Amino acid sequence: MMDAIIPPPGEPMKRKRLLPLKVMIPLVLGIVISLTLLVFSEVGSRRLDEANTAHSDALRTLAQLQNILTLVVDAETGQRGYMLTGVPEYLEPYRAAVPKIDAAITALRALVRDEKSPAVRDAVQRINKLAGQRIGEMEATVALYDKSGRDVAYELMNTGLGKRTMDSLRSEIAALGEIQQQVASATSARWVRDVDFIRLSMQLMTASTVALLLVVWSLARRELMAREEIRSRLATERERLEGDVLERTAELGELSTHLQTVREEEKARLARDIHDELGGILVSAKMDVSAADKRLGDRDAVVREKLQRALASLDEGVAIKRKIIEDLRPTLLDNLGLAAALDWQAREVCDRAGLACELNLCEETSDLAPEVTIALYRIVQEALTNIVKYARAKKVSVDLMRDDEGIALVVADDGIGLPEKATHDRLSHGIIGMRQRVRALNGEFSIRGRPREGTQIEVRVPAARARTPDLEATV
């Protein structure tokens, strides 16, 4: 690490060296030596490849030369067998060998195509010429045998022309084979020298690498010790910060729960005030207008029309008052329980939005704690609102189930599903609010949804928080 040294005022800031000079010099030397040996190893590897290729070409050339000689001898043997017996079957080795000789000559010329030595190329040309000449002599002898008889053919053979051609071919093949044998021996010796050189280079590279690793190990040990000290300090600081975060998170959770409780209490108080105050005023006004309608309406048609319109307005005001009260604090929840309130809420929303509604509600909800009933009711209310606004669904199902472990709520639809990252979006206040309500009850909240596959919300509240405390048991 590069640490800055704070200089006295007026002096430029200096920085410490990244590594001490006594450490940097071995490192630089080690790097230079390693790179040099790497270059030499690469050169040696290329020389090995070249030697291996040359050795392989020499061996293949030797094999091809032997193949050519063998094929010519086979052709000659077949021709002599035919000359001695007159049986055409003896010409089969001869006829089979002739095309193979041409192919072998072609392969030999391909092997020496890149040969730099003119002597080798000239020798291949001579071998090609002698092999062709010998094949021509055998063809002429066979043709003469078929046309003029055995004695005339023997006279041609007894001239020794074929033997001289064959001796020259053997001589050329032997000479070229000797050259290739020398090349193979030279490349083999060169291969051994290059291997020894590479082995020495690897030994030197290994030694320099070991030395460099020892230096690096020493530096790494010091660095690890320094990092361990820093890590220890960071761990201590992280634990302190995590404690602060947990404490602040708990405080925020308690504050959110308290705010939700206060808001529900405020809604309940407003609902009671509206019901008691505004409801009384509207009922009293309706009674007065109705009485006036009865007494004055028959005398004046205009007055009667106005009084009827006033009664209609008062009825509308009473209906609005009831809707506001139900939105603030559903009376069904307090009077008939959670199942009835959810049934009314779901059917009201689905009928208004034109959705098919499927309900499966447990009726045993009379002993549920008030905070649990209002939380589950608000979760269903928020879920239905989101379904109507965004889901484009055709069907909604609400299931309320209860067992010994607690109470479970499932709200599902067949809409377009959730967009990506919606469950973790900080701006998804509805989902955050539902999750916080469940968290305040020590429950579990999950929401699942894939594009075009609908959305499902699951809530589970443990039995310890679901039931209302038994007052008689606590006395």
Is the pLDDT assigned to residue 451 strictly greater than 90? Answer: no
Q: Which of 179, 203, 226 is the last residue of a domain?
A: 226
Is the pLDDT assigned to residue 6 strictly greater than 70? Answer: no
Please tell me the predicted confidence (pLDDT) of residue 396.
Answer: 93
Is the pLDDT assigned to residue 64 strictly greater than 90? Answer: no
What is the tens place of the pLDDT at every residue in 104-159?
888 877 777 776 677 777 788 888 888 787 788 777 777 777 777 777 677 777 77
Please tell me the predicted confidence (pLDDT) of residue 36.
Answer: 77
At residue 19 the predicted structure's pLDDT band, cuts being 50, 70 and 90, is low
**Closest to 439 in 3D by CA, of 260, 195, 312:** 260
Would residue 100 count as lying in a domain? yes
The rounded distance, in Å, linking the Cα atoms of 293 and 307 is 6
Residue carrying the six token digits 């022309």: 161
Stretch 218-242: mean pLDDT: 84
Would residue 188 count as lying in a domain? yes
Least trusted range by pLDDT, from 39-43, 98-102, 221-225: 39-43
Please tell me the predicted confidence (pLDDT) of residue 268.
Answer: 66
Q: Are residues 74 and 202 in the same domain?
A: yes
* Three-class SS state of 43: helix
Sheet of 455-462: strands edge to edge? 356-361, 395-403, 406-413, 455-462, 444-449
The residue segments making up the domain with residue 433 are 332-469
Is the pLDDT assigned to residue 5 strictly greater than 50? Answer: no
The rounded distance, in Å, linking the Cα atoms of 119 and 324 is 113
The rounded distance, in Å, linking the Cα atoms of 253 and 259 is 10
CB atoms within 10 A of CB 197: 16
* Three-class SS state of 157: helix
Would residue 393 count as lying in a domain? yes
Q: Are residues 37 and 171 in the same domain?
A: yes
Q: Are residues 175 and 27 in the same domain?
A: yes
Q: Are residues 352 and 203 in the same domain?
A: no
* Three-class SS state of 427: coil
The residue among 401 and 62 whose pLDDT is bigger is 401
CB atoms within 10 A of CB 16: 11
* Three-class SS state of 428: coil
The rounded distance, in Å, linking the Cα atoms of 332 and 372 is 15
Would residue 247 count as lying in a domain? no
The rounded distance, in Å, linking the Cα atoms of 222 and 50 is 47
Q: Which of 226, 253, 280 is the last residue of a domain?
A: 226
Would residue 291 count as lying in a domain? no
What is the tens place of the pLDDT at every residue in 82-107?
777 777 777 787 778 778 888 888 88
Would residue 246 count as lying in a domain? no
Q: Which of 226, 255, 277 is the last residue of a domain?
A: 226
CATH of the domain at 464: 3.30.565.10
* Three-class SS state of 114: coil
- Count of structural domains within the chain: 2
User: What DSSP state is assigned to residue 442?
Assistant: T
Considering the chain, what is the average pLDDT of its residues?
76
Euclidean distance between the first and final Cα of the chain, in Å?
A: 68
Residue 1 class from Cβ within 10 Å (0-12 exposed, 13-18 middle, 19+ buried)? exposed
Residue 137 class from Cβ within 10 Å (0-12 exposed, 13-18 middle, 19+ buried)? buried
Cβ distance 126 to 68 under 8 Å? no
At residue 420 the predicted structure's pLDDT band, cuts being 50, 70 and 90, is low
Q: Are residues 197 and 346 in the same domain?
A: no
Q: What are phi and psi of 331, to 5 degrees?
A: -65, -30
Residues shown for the chain: 475
At residue 18 the predicted structure's pLDDT band, cuts being 50, 70 and 90, is low
Would residue 313 count as lying in a domain? no
Residue carrying the six token digits 């089979």: 96
Would residue 172 count as lying in a domain? yes
CATH of the domain at 169: 1.20.120.1730
Q: Are residues 208 and 357 in the same domain?
A: no
